[in-house]
Amino acid sequence: MSEKKNSGKAAKTISLMAVIIMLAKVMGLLRETLVARLYGQSMESDMINTATQIPLLFFDMVLGVAILSTFVPIFNKCIEKSGIDEAKKFADNFTTVVGIIAAAAAALGMIFAEPLVRLMVPGYADIPGKVEQTAALLRILFPSIVFTATAYIAVGVLQSFGEFTIPSLISVVSNGIMILYLLIFGDRLGLYGVAVSMLIAWAMQLAVQLPHLIKFGMRYKFRFDLKDSGIREAALIALPVLISSWVQPLCNVINMAFGSKMGDGAVSALNWANKIYIIMVGVFAYAITNFIFPKLSRLSGEENKEGFAEMTRISVGGITVIIGLVCSLFLSLSRPIISVVFERGEFTAENTAITGGALFFYSFGMIGYAICEVLNKSFYALSDGRTPMVTSIIGIAVNFAAAALLAGVLDMGVGGLALAAAVSSNVMAICLLFMINKRRAGTVTAALVSDIVKIVICGAAAYAAARSVDIFAVRFGGGTVMTLIRLCVCALPAALVYFAAAYALNISGVRAMASKLKRRFVS
């Protein structure tokens, strides 16, 4: 009975997190929509998109995933072995060390803003003033690294105490601030006003968590001890964890560099298509990985190999079922999706075609990306950052080679860059599936592989259904409302076909889910 209660509680927690993350992602999408409405795909949109991305890329490459992936296991280990007081001392020390690193990275970024722009988006140098204006925006936004780093540590503390709701809400707060600014001020204060509002929004991600940290008895005290055993342990695994997290930012860098030479708007098109892609995968993948990571860390610490393998396998199977449907819908309806989200104001039908093409090709990597998110967390819970690191290096190399071939040789434009990223994600997923089974035998079973193949088949059937219905639905005409109706009309039968096929092919968990729903509605 208690196991059922725990299972029900876990499902409710994940569902609530998914709803909150969905709200945050929708708000983030609205924020991007408002920016697109103001600037379209233009020099201005390229500059603000680039100035926003570079600090985040720096954060991901210098700290990023390494914070949560090293902090959470060590903090939990301190609680279990040494007690809460020692864990608090470690948290204070970790916050100080990370804060100093983040401040140094922000300072260097501000000092070398212009050379950074020239290096990362070389095509901007061909347009007078584009490099200099982007660098000025960059200097405003680089301090966001400090706020983001400390906010990530706060997330790790709260999740370790079993508080998942507040960490999920921080993006709702920051996106809400940006949306209010854009609705009230628009372009009246120019791009600099937009940049300042973004900096304030990131600062609020930390501020909103402070009352809840206090509630759990956390009071920050300056502590700087590099000889601390927890810091040494974090340092030992930080480098491979950092390198393993570079794949997404470096793939973005590669795409930005290639895209900057494709004229005004190409970088913006890639950025907006990628954000919609990440939003949809992230809603489900992040909800599941944030929930299972502390549990995987405990199972690893307890040497419960069978339990670890089972939780990882169930997580991979569950996320693949969900993302399989999302992938099929995005492949079949990429252009109307972009039209509904962005096509207004300065964002034209031509912009929709370019961005929709990028989204179509990005979507081929959705399942691979989601699997990578789950398996990376599994390796981090095992304190193994080396395997994701090696896999990420492979993924970055694949992305660069594919981008050079598809965008350079075959001249596929932004679509080729997006497809290169998708190929990279799928290659990494295959590598990680192989390696996790070597570390924890029984994680990847014949049944799991069979389910993934079946999900691809179900996705193909859903794609065909959506495309067939869209032949008639396209007659609804243009406009946001009519295009939204068109999307719904196409998505519903596609979803029905997908789950009917999944039920018929007996994909793990689908029939059990159907039985539960049937009992609930019948009763």
The per-residue pLDDT for 520 is 55
pTM of whole model > 0.95?
no
Q: What is the share, in percent, of the chain residues with pLDDT greater than 70?
A: 87
CB-based contact 293:381 (threshold 8 Å): yes
Q: Is residue 18 predicted with pLDDT exceeding 70?
A: no
pLDDT, tens digit, 9 for 90 and up, residues 72-113: 778 888 887 878 888 888 889 999 998 998 999 899 999 999
Beta carbons within 8 Å of 481's beta carbon, 6+ residues apart = none
The per-residue pLDDT for 515 is 64
Q: What is the mean pLDDT of residues 455-473?
A: 92
The per-residue pLDDT for 4 is 47
pLDDT, tens digit, 9 for 90 and up, residues 354-401: 899 999 999 999 999 989 988 888 887 787 777 888 888 898 899 999
What does the angle CA 505 – CA 506 – CA 510 come to, to the nearest 5 degrees?
Answer: 120
Beta carbons within 8 Å of 35's beta carbon, 6+ residues apart = 45, 48, 49, 182, 194
Q: Is residue 289 predicted with pLDDT exceeding 80?
A: no
pLDDT, tens digit, 9 for 90 and up, residues 437-453: 988 888 888 989 999 99
Q: What is the share, in percent, of the chain residues with pLDDT greater than 90?
A: 32
Domain locations in the chain as residue ranges: 40-242
- DSSP H helical ranges for 63-163: 65-82, 84-111, 113-120, 130-141, 144-160
- The chain-wide mean pLDDT, for the chain, equals 84
Query: Mean pLDDT lowest for which of 1-15, 259-273, 283-297?
Result: 1-15
CB-based contact 467:497 (threshold 8 Å): no
